[in-house]
A and B are shown apart, each in its own frame.
Chain A
Amino acid sequence: MPDLGKYGAEVLSAYGATIVLLVALIWQTWARSRRVKLALKAAEARHSNG
């Protein structure tokens, strides 16, 4: 581990906040994509069955 000296809290909190925000964005993108994909599949199945 690198020695961050007196700036450890600043560097780690900047990286922590970035990782939390990026993971939340990726998760939200993936979850909504999956939800809409499944809903469309179901709607198309209903539609093709009349």
Chain B
Amino acid sequence: MSIWKYSNPRLFMGWTAKAVPIFAVLAALCISVGLIWGYFFTPDDYRMGATVKIIYIHVPSAMMAINAWVMMLVASLIWLIRRHHVSALAAKAAAPVGVVMTLIALITGAIWGQPMWGTWWVWDPRLTSFLILFLFYLGYLALWAAIEDPDSAADLTSVLCLVGSVFALLSRYAVNFWNQGLHQGASLSLDKEEHVSDVFWQPLVLCMLGFGLLFLALVLIRTRTEIRSRRLAVLDARERNG
């Protein structure tokens, strides 16, 4: 039995109909518990005060902004190599979710940065690469919308996705490459000096899990919509041609 058979549109619609409600309920549960725990039941940080509560939305959204692009990269490579239509549609479906996650990370980062750094924005390596990633998301969506033939659109957007992956990687590792900049290193690290305290870490992990599950649920729903939309286009074309 091959894993590729699950990318057959009919089978995909079958298993995702069962998976989506499970992912959606688990996402709602993890996000609700994580945010309530983090917001109401964790103390202020001794340096950052109450602004530390922004970590529960900023870190998970930034993580998903990068992971969404990585998922689009994998799906794009599958399309380019194996020509599985569902993988191209999954990449297309993930982009709007990724762009919203990137926007949340940028907005919450700016709001957090203002009281901590004294500025909303600085041309720091991580912030700049994140902004470029956001622009790549917009370009990716615009390219899908601009090309009528779906296979050509999938080809060109896949190439754009490969190029944009440089900035997805930079967004994650920029602070390690360059020492300049205001943004701190990873909040979750094996290094005890860098690692966020346990009292913040536990609800944060729950929120990260919740954002990951929410991403999965939304991408599956949107991929199902894309498959239906393509089927609709075929039927409409048949009707027009008699």
Taking Cβ atoms with an 8 Å cutoff, the residues of A that contact B are 1-8, 10-11, 13-15, 17-18, 21-22, 24-26, 28-30, 32-33, 36-37, 39-40, 43-44, 46-47
Besides A10-B115, A25-B96, A46-B239, 16 new A-B residue pairs in contact (Cβ under 8 A), listed by A number: A1-B40, A7-B50, A10-B54, A10-B111, A14-B54, A14-B57, A17-B107, A18-B57, A22-B104, A28-B96, A32-B225, A33-B225, A36-B229, A43-B236, A47-B235, A47-B239
Chain A to chain B: the 9 pairs with minimum beta-carbon distance, closest first: A4-B50, A43-B235, A7-B50, A14-B108, A14-B111, A18-B57, A33-B225, A25-B100, A14-B54
Of all chain A residues, the one with the shortest Cβ separation from B107 is: A17
Secondary structure at the B interface, as helix, strand, loop or mixed, is helix
Which stretch in B74-82, B134-142, B216-224 binds the other chain? B216-224
Q: How far is the CA of A40 from the CA of B239 in the complex (A)?
A: 13
Inter-subunit contact A5/B44 (CB<8 Å): yes
Q: How far is the CA of A43 from the CA of B58 in the complex (A)?
A: 43
Of all chain B residues, the one with the shortest Cβ separation from A17 is: B107
Inter-subunit contact B108/A17 (CB<8 Å): yes
Q: Out of A4, A28, A40, which one reaches B232, CB within 8 Å?
A: A40
- Taking CB atoms, residues of chain B closer than 8 Å to A4 are 50, 53
- Taking CB atoms, residues of chain A closer than 8 Å to B195 are none
- Taking CB atoms, residues of chain B closer than 8 Å to A29 are 96, 218, 221-222, 225
B152 at the A interface (CB under 8 A): no
Chain B nearest CB from A23 CB (Å) reads: 11
